[in-house]
Amino acid sequence: MTRIVTVGAAQLGPIARAETRPQVVKRLLELLRAAKSHGCDLAVFPELALTTFFPRWYFERQDEIDAFFERAMPSAATQPLFDEAKRLGIGFCLGYAELCEEDGRTRRFNSAILVDQAGRIAGKYRKVHLPGHAGHEPWRRFQHLEKRYFETGNLGFPVFRAFGGIFGLCICNDRRWPETYRVMGLQGVEMVLLGYNTPVHNPPAPEHDNLANFHNALVMQSGAYQNGTWVVGVAKAGCEEGVEQIGNSIVVAPSGELVAACSTLGDELAVARCDLDLCNSYKNTVFNFARHREPQHYGLIVERKGAVPPPEV
Ligand code: CDT
C-alpha cells in the first residue's frame, strides 16, 4: 500500500527585529504558494516563525515582550495565511509565541499548530523542553531566555489524525530528547513535524559549536528510525540580528535516511514525497513495540517524593 503525503520543509532565512508581521506573512505566503506548485499537501514552517527569535534579548518591560506574542490563532496578521491555504487546499504547520488566558491568568507558551487542507486547526502543541535560562546572564554574547518568557507546555505530546495519517508536533530543543519521539511513537505517530531556531554558538558549551549540524541530523535521524516515523525538521536559519543560526532543514524517512534537505541559509523549500506506509515496515518488525519492547525489565525507578537521589559522578 502507499499513502503519500508530499511535504514541503519551508525554511526561513533570518527575520529582523524590525520586520513587521505582514512582511513576514508575505514571505510565508510565497513559500506556501511554492509548496502548492510543487504538489505539496503540507508546508512546515519553523519555530516562532512570525518574529525574530526574541529570547536572545533580555527585556524587562512586559509590553515589549508581549509584542512578540499572538493573542489568537488565526490572528489578524495570520488570517491571510489561513485564507490562502484554504483556497489552495494545502495544510501547514506554524510555530508562534502564544499568549492566552487560561486557568484565570495570562499564560505564554512557545507553540505550534497543524492546519489541515480545509484551513482548520487539526492539532496544537506547546513546547515542553525549554532550553536556556531564566535570569539575565550578561556574560553571554546573546541570551537564550526561553525559560523566562515561556511556561512549560501543558499539552503533553499528543498525536493527531490528519492528511490520511497520524501526525505529531514538537519544537526545536524537544528534538534532542528521545522521549519526545518515543511518547509519540507509542501512539503510532507516522510523521513528526518540528521547527527550530538553533544558534551555531552555544555559550555554555562552545566545544559543541562545530557539531551543531551533525547533532541536528543525528537526533532527527535516530528519532525517526527508532520509532518508524517520518520526521520533518525546519530551520529559521542564517545570521539573525548578529547571531548565526544553523539551516540544514531535512526530511527523514522511517529508515533514518535523509530524503530531502535545504542547502541555503535563506527562505527555501525542500520537497519530499513521503509514503506513510513505509512506517509499517519498521513498526511491524524491528520496532514492533508490542512484541519486542520490554519496559517492565528496564529497571525504571519512577521518581517519587523522598526517593534517594542517585550519587553524583
Ligand atoms: N530554540 C531552541 O530550542 N534552541 C535550542 C538551542 C539550545 S543550544 C544547544 C536547540 O536545542 O536547538
Q: Is 180 in the pocket of ligand 1 (CB under 6 A)?
A: no
First-to-last alpha carbon distance for the chain, in angstroms, is: 51
Mean pLDDT for the stretch of residues 12-20: 98
239 catalytic? Reply is: no
- Ligand 1 pocket test: which of 173, 174, 180 has the largest number of ligand atoms within 8 Å of its C-beta? 173
Residue 307 domain flag: no
Which residue among the candidates 36, 40, 47, 84 is catalytic per the annotation?
A: 47
CATH number for position 95: 3.60.110.10
Q: Which three cell numbers stand for residue 148?
A: 523566562
**Quick check: CB of 245 below 6 Å from ligand 1?**
no
pLDDT digits (tens, 9 = 90+) for 195-251: 999 999 999 999 999 999 999 999 999 999 999 999 999 999 999 999 999 999 999
For residue 172 and ligand 1, the question of a CB distance below 6 A is answered with yes
40 is catalytic: no
Q: Give yes or no for a contact between 265 and 219, defined as CB atoms under 8 angstroms apart.
A: no
| Nearest atom in ligand 1 to 132's CA | 7
Question: What pLDDT shows up at residue 300?
Answer: 77
**Does 302 reside within a domain?**
no
Contacts of 259 (CB under 8 A, 6+ apart): 251, 252, 253, 272, 274
Give how many domains the chain has, as a whole number.
1
Identified catalytic residue from 40, 170, 172, 279? 172
111 contacts 124 by C-beta, under 8 angstroms: yes
Question: Cα(92) to centroid of ligand 1, in Å?
Answer: 22
pLDDT for res 306: 63
Decide: 11 in ligand 1 pocket, CB within 6 A.
no
Of 133, 172, 218, the residue with max ligand 1 atoms within 8 A of its CB, to mutate for a pocket test, comes to: 172
Give a yes or no: residue 185 inside a domain.
yes
Domain presence at residue 311: no
**pLDDT, the chain, mean:** 96
Question: Does residue 313 lie in a domain region?
Answer: no
How does residue 308 score in pLDDT terms, banded at 50, 70 and 90? low
Give the pLDDT of residue 1: 76
Residue 2: predicted pLDDT: 87
Residues 29-55: tens digit of each pLDDT: 999 999 999 999 999 999 999 999 999
217 lies in a domain?
A: yes
Cβ of residue 216 lying under 6 Å from some atom of ligand 1: no
Task: Tell me, yes or no, if 172 is annotated catalytic.
Answer: yes
For residue 235 and ligand 1, the question of a CB distance below 6 A is answered with no
Average pLDDT on 258-286 reads: 98
| Residue 143 scores a pLDDT above 90 | yes
Q: Tell me the residue range of the domain where 105 lies.
A: 4-297
State residue 97's pLDDT score. Answer: 98
Residue 31 in any domain: the answer is: yes
- DSSP assignment of 82-148 equals HHHHHHHT-EEEEEEEEEEEETTEEEEEEEEEEE-TTS-EEEEEE-----S-SS--TTSSS---HHH
Mean pLDDT of 46-75: 98
Our answer on whether the CB atom of 196 is closer than 6 Å to any ligand 1 atom is yes
Q: Is residue 312 domain-resident?
A: no
Which residue's CA is the nearest one to ligand 1's atom 10? 173
pLDDT at 304 over 80: no
Spatial CB neighbours of 173, under 8 Å, sequence gap ≥ 6:
127, 129, 130, 131, 146, 196
